[in-house]
Structure 1
């Protein structure tokens, strides 16, 4: 049996350094930008739209679900922090799997990232459309026609707001990373402020009785809600896709990941408690735009709900921007390795961005958002994300054995224990997504494997290059 094609961390770093020296990406992102980028990628549809679904599953115990989802993320966040600091390149989980597990697994991880990033682009944009209607209704007493704000399976023709959002995000990303980073930072601050204000309003009407019964559906409800709540955390690993555009990636990438997860977990638990404490889990779990409804109920005015709806519109827009960015960089890395068509690796000398690849991503997932409902996207995105995260945890263990001399500014504590726990938690949440999602995922993986065997393996740069590796460029 032939040995797996493994691309060492040294080669990955050297290649990224070569691109940066020539006509590739520019290092413009500071630690603050990375943290805002992470928050921009995470806080959005999951909390503004998906909170009601999680509450409906678990009741007040949804707080436990958010903590369990966060624990899964923390275990994996440690692994991302170690590998993101040690291998600061644009490919994120894909590149880490290439170094730790080999080319076949790397391709499948990159294929799964199409679910995490690509499908998330569509899912988030569909959720954004719901809050656009909520905002229009609160401010103007109007709503978009169902034919233009819902897909065919929801009684409409096309989800036009979702398409518009993806188009705007694509245009901004094409202009340049500096402009995108600034926009993401502003939107991240705006949505954090609005969620903090929501908590302040919600807790003024907090009633202890609304927390009883705490877990009406028992452990099964908590488990199901944990899988749903996990979607609210998807995107923190997008920080690692900025490895080639960070000014000091070895230091800043690990810090940004851990700060992002910690801040978001506290915020989510506070928002869930405020919402349930104010109006009760039964009512909060039955409202698609639960946060706006809570503020309207507590204040007795439509103004507060309009502010929350505005915050949701900003928040979800920033997620679309961040995950579109991440998807373009992952496909760029795969294209650079020959595993995807070369069109995705072309970087514009004028804007220093992969223009053509970004436009293709916008068109493809804009079409998905136009015609596919939100519920049909979330579970598939979740299982793909969890599979990629499990692979990253395994890659940490294998890379420590294969490349013990690799410089690691941050190391996962307790040796292999936490990565193993990360794998187990990921598998548990994958199980909770249900049989239908597993069948869809199996078909998706089979298609990915066929694409790799039919195209990727034949065009792989690693498979055709000499065995000698170039030296790592100084200062990288």
Structure 2
């Protein structure tokens, strides 16, 4: 049976994990959450980071014990059987036409600033990004992890420059007035901020490609989440101090606003480059994860199909190209249909929360000792986020129920 190449190192894994979490969220979420929670935003980050810790620890424990390209769906299979595994796998795959094109559209907005005028239309920019995704993914996971590590270093440097030019002091960094926190705003803010830690489930698909998964995979998840959390927190401090939030337009342009205020208009090109790279890093890992999900299902249930084959670079080429085609078609449809990007992101967020819920539930059944208790806490925290998001969760729930009903029970081939 074909196996993926084990090429991802610890440093490469940390780079992939952190850039996946920082991606599109850094350019929207701190300002949107600040508009909701105002000065309570810093406390909200403390609460969320503490809440994410058991979730990250549980994914790390599962990945260490069950390193598989199937990711969360494989964990579900081990806990609940193949029928629910396929439902969760297809639920994750259903993100392709909603979540990924939304991220591509955001990246395309930055890319348009860098392209010559003849190519600077939204559709062309997005299709060029899809083509670049294909090139990077087909080159192999080693090249991809190196690229993402370089992007991670660039994002850290950029945030450091914002802190330096923003004249941030220790007083600005520390949260204040714990007793004056407004619970009615903290909850909705955390529900929005949870988007920043969507990506752990995608990284779960990469466990099989680590050189030393038992040692490096858990460390990559935990360190990557910690670095991303610190980066979001510190950037939120800059957003609060310089009031780069408060209106829908300012919320979506907070980074260019801060760059213009702190560095001048000459920094526009730098923000466009970093914005594009940060968004690309997120899309890149999701493209990898989705292609490996398709390949994993084919390897298990249709091992003789083209989808189950690997290229000379050890890449599931057919699955990768299939994902790229769907993304390209969804980008074209999204542009010409005029559907709102925020709608796509909201629908995708609900899908991710459901996947997190089932992954944590699986861990409760699969893990023992302290790990099981941490998984129980993580499951409870995911349920809290589920209810915070509210009615939007109905889309993901309905899709999962439909998938469960239409997927017959089946067994693996002998």
**TM interval, short-chain normalised:** 0.7 to 0.9
Q: Relative to structure 1, is the Cα distance of residues 63 and 117 closer, same or farther in structure 2, using a 3 angstrom cutoff?
A: farther
Match of residue 396, structure 1, among 360, 363, 368: 363
Residue 440 of structure 1 aligns with which residue?
395
Q: Which has the larger radius of gyration?
A: 1
Q: 2:364, 2:373 within 8 Å by CA — same for their partners in 1?
A: no
Match of residue 9, structure 2, among 18, 30, 33: 30
1:112 aligns with 2:112: no
Q: Which runs of 5+ in 1 are unaligned?
A: 1-17, 150-158, 402-412, 466-476
Residue 314 of structure 2 aligns with which residue?
352
1:252 aligns with 2:216: yes
Q: 2:48, 2:190 within 8 Å by CA — same for their partners in 1?
A: yes
Q: 2:97, 2:330 within 8 Å by CA — same for their partners in 1?
A: no
Counterparts of 2:132 and 2:183 in 1: how far apart (Å)?
A: 42
Q: Relative to structure 1, is the Cα distance of residues 174 and 426 closer, same or farther in structure 2, using a 3 angstrom cutoff?
A: same
1:184 aligns with 2:148: yes
Q: 1:91, 1:334 within 8 Å by CA — same for their partners in 2?
A: yes
Residue 361 of structure 1 aligns with which residue?
323
1:269 aligns with 2:233: yes
Counterparts of 2:32 and 2:317 in 1: how far apart (Å)?
A: 37
Counterparts of 1:50 and 1:441 in 2: how far apart (Å)?
A: 22
Counterparts of 2:10 and 2:161 in 1: how far apart (Å)?
A: 26
Q: Relative to structure 1, is the Cα distance of residues 354 and 144 closer, same or farther in structure 2, using a 3 angstrom cutoff?
A: closer
- In the TM superposition, structure 1's runs of 4+ consecutive aligned residues that sit over 6 Å from their partners are 142-145, 205-208, 211-217
Aligned residue for 1:439, secondary structure, equals: helix
1:19 aligns with 2:2: yes
Residue 333 of structure 1 aligns with which residue?
296
Once the two structures are superposed, the pairs formed by residues 59-458 of structure 1 within 5 Å of their partners are 59-114=38-93, 119-133=98-112, 135=113, 148-149=121-122, 159-204=123-168, 218-279=182-243, 281-282=245-246, 286-299=250-263, 301-338=264-301, 342-348=305-311, 350-370=312-332, 371=334, 372-400=339-367, 414-435=370-391, 437-453=392-408, 457-458=409-410
Counterparts of 1:280 and 1:48 in 2: how far apart (Å)?
A: 11
1:42 aligns with 2:25: no
Q: Which runs of 5+ in 2 are unaligned?
A: none
Q: CA deviation at 1:44?
A: 0.9
Aligned-residue RMSD, C-alpha: 3.1
Q: 1:113, 1:388 within 8 Å by CA — same for their partners in 2?
A: yes
Counterparts of 1:171 and 1:263 in 2: how far apart (Å)?
A: 28
The normalised TM-score by structure 1 is 0.77
Q: Relative to structure 1, is the Cα distance of residues 415 and 247 closer, same or farther in structure 2, using a 3 angstrom cutoff?
A: closer
The normalised TM-score by structure 2 is 0.88
Q: Relative to structure 1, is the Cα distance of residues 269 and 341 closer, same or farther in structure 2, using a 3 angstrom cutoff?
A: farther
